[in-house]
Amino acid sequence: MSTTAAHAALANAERSASAERAAALALLRRHPALASLPRVALTALPTPVEPLALAGVAAGALWVKRDDRSSPVYGGNKPRKLEFTLAAARAHGSRRLVTTGGIGTHHGLATAIFGRALGMRTTVVVVPQPVTAHVREQLRGLQAFGAELLPAGGIAAAAAQVIRAFARATLRGEKPFWVATGGSSALADVGFVSAAFELAEQIAAGALPEPAEIYVPIGSGGTLAGLALGLRLAGLRARAVGVLVTDILPPTPARLARLANASLALLRRHDPSIAAAPMTAADFEVARAQLGAGYGAATAAGEAASALARDAGLALETTYTAKCLAELLARLADGRARTPALFWNTYNSVDYRAAAPAAPPESELPAAIRRWLAEAER
């Protein structure tokens, strides 16, 4: 998408939101005092809920929340988080966003797309991951939207690169702003607290039955942390089940509880009427059976789940969403899943490529990234 088109899409969203700001998010309809939180409208909500008819699954047992359509610019779970984070960056006067991810990072690409439309450039410190056609496509997207890519071979090297990126941006007067890996932070995760309230409204309107369980992939953990907290605050009985897809600093239930409680503390500072309902590690279920060989490594179960979803008109990818659906299908097959179950599709299904700026040639990538790509072809 061109910068002009992206600006226009975001401007239209902001005009719509400003017409009735307090009604823009389900959370604000219940707690209007939270309108004091920084936010720039990036989403088109509510995202649809639909029955998900898959071979071998009983009718009515499985539903899908279509967060793949969360924004007309770039969908998935990232826009719900970034509309808070980028508003804070803009209030800070930043012209440079700094974040981290794999070379095929969805979070990094979403940050680069939305940041560019808001007049901010993005630096992404990237680490290796298994190279697939999808990863290469994401990498081209990062190049097209002008992301500065800084390679790092591991966690320690990535931390050093982040420090260097901040130092350089500070010397350039760009007022760099840290966007946490995966977009997860106390502020950003409010987007998924609100998503739970959005779901509650859809249940009340009869769009779907109240799920017994909701399945989401776990990368950095903010989506699950915010959603689980939101379910509690919204009064829903559904249990969120997180499917672990990363072996790079994987979040534990205790870590997820801390993330959720940080968001709860933030919300209560802005609206003390919100219930003091702290989360504990026992509130988080982490399914670990679908990780396979590690982050980004496809699995047979994930590929089978992706094929089933494709037959039903749903596009998934093998790093996050296919593994999540694979866990849900395995539990449906052996009776462990409680139904109705809801699959929360966190993948982007918006085709941003046709209107994207032209990507520089692969030869302009940093040498280390070119080496990783070459090694994958051997």
We report the CATH number of the domain holding residue 297 as 3.40.50.1100
Co-location of 98 and 27 in the same domain: no
Of 124, 52, 47, 112, which Cα lies nearest the Cα of 80? 47
- The answer to whether residues 197 and 286 belong to one domain is yes
The model's confidence at residue 377, banded by pLDDT at 50, 70 and 90, is confident
pLDDT in tens, 210-221: 999 999 999 999
Q: Residue 36: inside a domain, yes or no? A: yes
Pair 70, 212 in one domain: yes
Domain boundary among 116, 151, 183: 183
Read off the pLDDT of residues 328-341 as tens digits, 9 standing for 90 and up.
999 999 999 999 99
Same domain, 210 and 260: yes
**Same structural domain for residues 207 and 236?**
yes
- Average pLDDT over all residues of the chain: 94
Domain count, the chain: 2
Same domain, 231 and 339: yes
Contact present, 182 and 140 (Cβ < 8 Å): no
Residues 90, 173 within the same domain: yes
- Specify whether 23 is located in the same domain as 131: no
Q: Is residue 357 part of a domain?
A: no
Do 110 and 60 share a structural domain? no
Task: Identify the domain containing residue 92 by its residue range.
Answer: 80-183
pLDDT at residue 378, rounded to an integer: 83
Any domain includes 257: yes
- Over residues 147-175, the mean pLDDT reads 97
> Is it the case that residue 345 has pLDDT exceeding 60?
yes
pTM, entire model: 0.93
Q: What is the pLDDT of residues 300-329, one digit of tens each?
A: 999 999 999 999 999 999 999 999 999 999
Bridge partners for 49 per DSSP: 65
Q: Does the residue 366 lie in any domain?
A: no
Tell whether 231 and 272 lie within a shared domain: yes
**Torsion sign, CA atoms 270, 276, 280, 284:** negative
